[in-house]
Structure 1
């Protein structure tokens, strides 16, 4: 049986009195009635909080170590439009983990690369898992890094049946650093992945060099 991606782990410092669904559409919103421990035997008053139940996601930073560049995508996003910002976002590959895939996010990451950049990544490894908006959203994002041959990429990709129209481009590491410094990235997926790679590029190169030698 697959794990329920919406089922929280029991916590001895939290008492959940009620949890009611208040909206069910493409996403879900639940209303929680709870108390949490403050210190010792002292508990908070009853708190009522709405939580956006988005599920969980993967993100992939495709990196070409031969050409020293990363693959980024640009696509329309509804959230920035509603926030009064540019709705065409520069991002990395990402996708939602379906309930039946919760035990195999690695395969989700591989599939999303094929759909969003039209190419398969090699030597895919997990970097970290984080919560992009912990104040009101239950979603976690597991970030991967994968090796790719950027010369094989198409110019556009995406699943048209899902309304995806994705432009594909590359940034050298100096261009990535400059874009980061100039504030061109305004979403957590891109920001975290870019900063991580700029701090760890030598470790990534060494990892793949050792892997290639071991497979020789």
Structure 2
């Protein structure tokens, strides 16, 4: 039996104040929160919070060709990153009101890679930076036919400039071992695939027959 569970839950934290301090392409809020402490009393803190919402990222795997379809695009937050601001990433998108993660994965896969994704399944949900952002990531995987995985994609009205790459799974594993995959979603997904490759590959062959 696993020996850890959190001592507190959401009911042990009270949002006293939530004030929007910036609303542009993104939103920044100032929060005042009172929460329980491990000492047995309470603590009131003020924090700036990047209100990002929920997003979906999807690992696109062609089990027949044993390739992964990934995208490359510019990221302003990576201007000072060791490998530069053009990142190799998973297809991803924000969840709009009323959408399911699966619907977003299907839409974004078509918009960003030109492909249709099949048999979507969850890998893991996670918080990428909970100290200052409320974003929740739904990390999924699905199967694709990578035969036409090429070219430039993205929506011009959203400022997207996306190049599609179709890489052998073994080469992506090598990029990971070299430290050249440098954003959370792709690292988590590729590490997961590395651990579960035989099972996922077999399931993909059965699903894509």
TM-score above 0.5, yes or no: yes
Written as runs of structure 1 = structure 2, the 5 A alignment for 1:11-50 is: 11-39=10-38, 41-44=40-43, 46-50=44-48
Aligned-pair distance for 1:212? 6.0
Look up the match of 1:72: 70
**2:95 paired residue number:** 97
Q: Tell me the secondary structure at the aligned position of residue 123 of structure 2.
A: strand
Aligned-pair CA distance for 1:25: 1.4
| Cross-structure match for 1:204 | 200
Instruction: Report if the CA contact (8 A) 1:55-1:138 is conserved.
Output: yes
Structure 1 stretches of 4+ moved >4 Å = 82-85, 209-213
- 1:163-174 correspondence to structure 2 within 5 Å: 163-174=159-170
**What secondary structure does 1:202 align onto?**
helix
RMSD: 1.9
CA–CA distance in structure 1, aligned partners of residues 74 and 37 of structure 2: 43
CA contact (8 A) 1:173 1:198 kept: no
* Matched-pair contact (CA < 8 Å) for 2:149–2:166: no
Map of 2:5 onto structure 1: none
| Helix, strand or coil at the partner of 2:29 | strand
For 1:12, what is the secondary structure of its paired residue? helix
User: For the structure 1 residues 22 and 82, does the alpha-carbon distance in structure 2 shift closer, same or farther, using more than 3 Å as the test?
Assistant: farther
Give unmatched runs, 5+ long, in structure 1. Answer: 1-9
Q: Does 1:106 align with 2:102?
A: yes
The 1:183/1:151 distance shift into structure 2, 3 A limit, reads same
Q: Which residue of 2 aligns with 1:60?
A: 58
* TM-score between the two structures when normalised by the length of structure 1: 0.86
How many corresponding residue pairs? 201
- Alignment partner, residue 183 of structure 1: 179
2:188 corresponds to which residue?
A: 192
Q: What displacement does 1:205 show?
A: 2.2
Give per-residue Cα distances to partners, 1:13-67, cap 9 Å, x unaligned: 11222111111112111111112111474112x2101110011100011001011
Quote how far apart the aligned CAs of 1:113 are.
Answer: 0.2
